[in-house]
Homo-oligomer: A and B are copies of this chain.
Amino acid sequence: MNEKEIKILNNLAKKIKSKRLLLNLSQESLAIKCGLDRTYISLIERSKRNPSYLSLIKICDGLEVEIKELIG
């Protein structure tokens, strides 16, 4: 994983976390809405994981946003 990729994941992480906080959701409640694991949400928000396309979509659903808002 090179510098550019790390930056991309950092950017995604920040957006997910800020959207989650806007909704006043805990990592756990977001995880439940997404159908993903809480520890996994934690990893993503710290740029430790490169989520799959389908996982990204689940997270968008949980955050009630369009994918475009997370990756634009």
Contact partners of A67 in chain B: CB under 8 A:
71
Task: Name A68's closest neighbour in chain B (CB-CB).
Answer: B68
Provide the A37-72 mask, 1 if CB < 8 A to any CB of B, else 0. 000000000000011111011000000000110011
Say how many copies of this protein the assembly contains.
2
Report the Cα distance A53→B7, complex, angstroms: 13
Q: Is the interface of A mostly helix, strand, loop or mixed?
A: helix
Report the Cα distance A57→B6, complex, angstroms: 13
Task: Name A12's closest neighbour in chain B (CB-CB).
Answer: B53
Task: Name A52's closest neighbour in chain B (CB-CB).
Answer: B50
What residues of chain A have their CB less than 8 Å away from a CB belonging to chain B?
Answer: 1, 5, 8-9, 12, 50-54, 56-57, 67-68, 71-72
